A and B are shown apart, each in its own frame.
Chain A
């Protein structure tokens, strides 16, 4: 390998090779960005007829979705997406951050080497499998509890909590690990206990990274589809508690996608547009927080 590079160097100017390599790599970067832009443009343009015909306000705040009456409003679905995401975070945040602390600070290397691959494996389980487990185990249990149907926001929230756990654990573990060792050593040298150092020094220093991990977890939860379709019930009625079934923006698209035509099809793209902008908003929030933190660090 090295000898091959030497041979090339004999024939080419070294700087020329560098330049070519640079452009090729820029090309790869450009391709991925272009694909992203193409997708966004396509979704937004496909959804435009709905915003024109129904109106942005009536589409977002409309409460009736009926193919028969050609009426499309996604307000309940937006609420469904937000509530199920919030519930998933409520279940998973404490466990995930506890797990991240364990991995980053407390666990001996042996435990860590076992635990971390296991959590990564959790991220590798396909979402349809989560859905199946939820449908066969979780839904009947919840149904038993309320003496009715177990298809509910609660079932969706629990399944999503499992699915966002690896995201939050790995990003907040990185954040905790990134806190300089000197902080901890300084705290300990001043007579703080391990717990005091963790709670008053390390966690505050890692705070913005942990918040980012939660935000990215929210982004993952709000976009999840397959597992939700199977456990949340997909009904059109407004939910009044977390034990009621609901429809989210993603399950709305999944349920109707394979047969929608005309304005109905456009309405699905419009749903995707709203979903996309929600996720973009969430992700840029994470970026803003990270950037602010970076600035603080530099000025400190």
Chain B
């Protein structure tokens, strides 16, 4: 086979592929009336992200002409992107501050979420008091023996400062005290969970929606981090998950938020989080 035939064949292959893509796209259009397309973009908290993605999937299934784009970045990113218009909706996994509302943002609470204190799954610790949690995360206690565990160095794993989970944790569990400088820092819920799962003697905090059997969630003051306990307020490490928009939501963004707050949307929320 000479060079020219090879080139011809590969060109033909590329052509067929591109052509079929176009045909596929046309098929889609011909099925219904040509419709207006709506794009809604979200960014911010990695706690809200998986929930928003699941909601978007169901919403898009019902409304074919909507396209929901969900990004990450952390709660602070959600606030700043919504404020400066980089995205339509910001995701925030803590209470929205008064200063942020004064800046022109409008907040919708879409769910409540507990913050679980997680440890490596082989660690023989099932309960921690708030005082112990403060001592561990502030660096006052550095060995598990001090809280009745094995002779094992404690590795504190935290999120970076922009994280809503981090801010909520510092406010709720640490009474505003800062965490130790020697903490390992990770920049998303997922990588924090992976770090705790792969480090013996590790402790961290995690959105309850992310809990699975790779890590162990401990009781706080004897109360287990379960949806039921968050609901009846016995588990106190909890915060709202919010969506923020610049001014009240309008147009496509409002349609999506209305869906989330509807009975159908809240049923999806209730699978891993607490419905409002």
The interface of chain A, by Cβ under 8 A from chain B, is 67-68, 135-136, 139-140, 143-144, 146-151, 229-230, 233-237, 245, 247, 254-256, 258-259, 261
Contact = CB atoms under 8 A, between A and B. Distances in A.
A233 B162 contact: no
A265 to B, nearest CB: 11
Contacts of A261: 80
Contacts of A256: 160, 162
A136 B214 CA distance: 13
Contacts of B198: 135-136, 139-140, 143, 150
Contacts of B184: 149, 151, 233-235, 245
Contact of B199 (A68, A139, A259): A139
B73 A143 contact: no
Contact of B160 (A136, A150, A230, A255): A255
Interface in B158-213: 160-162, 178, 180-187, 191, 194-195, 198-202
A93 B153 CA distance: 34
A147 B160 contact: no
Contact of A259 (B77, B183, B200): B77
Given A258-B73, A258-B77, A259-B77, A143 B199 contact: yes
Interface residues of B, number: 28
Interface in B229-258: none
A143 B201 CA distance: 9
B4 to A, nearest CB: 12
A144 B199 CA distance: 8
Given A151-B195, A259-B80, A144 B200 contact: yes
Given A235-B184, A237-B182, A259 B201 contact: no
B74 interface: yes
Nearest to B76: A259
Contacts of A230: 191
Contacts of A146: 153
Given A235-B182, A258-B73, A147 B187 contact: no
Contacts of B180: 237
B76 A147 contact: no
A139 B120 CA distance: 14
B199 A150 contact: yes
Contacts of B191: 230
Contacts of B202: 149
Interface string B37-77: 00000000000000000000000000000000000011011
Nearest to A254: B187
Given A143-B199, A147-B200, A233 B73 contact: no
Given A236-B182, A259-B80, 8 more contacts: A146-B153, A148-B152, A149-B199, A234-B186, A235-B183, A254-B187, A259-B74, A261-B80
Residue of A146, A149, A229, A235 with highest tally of chain B CB at under 10 A: A149
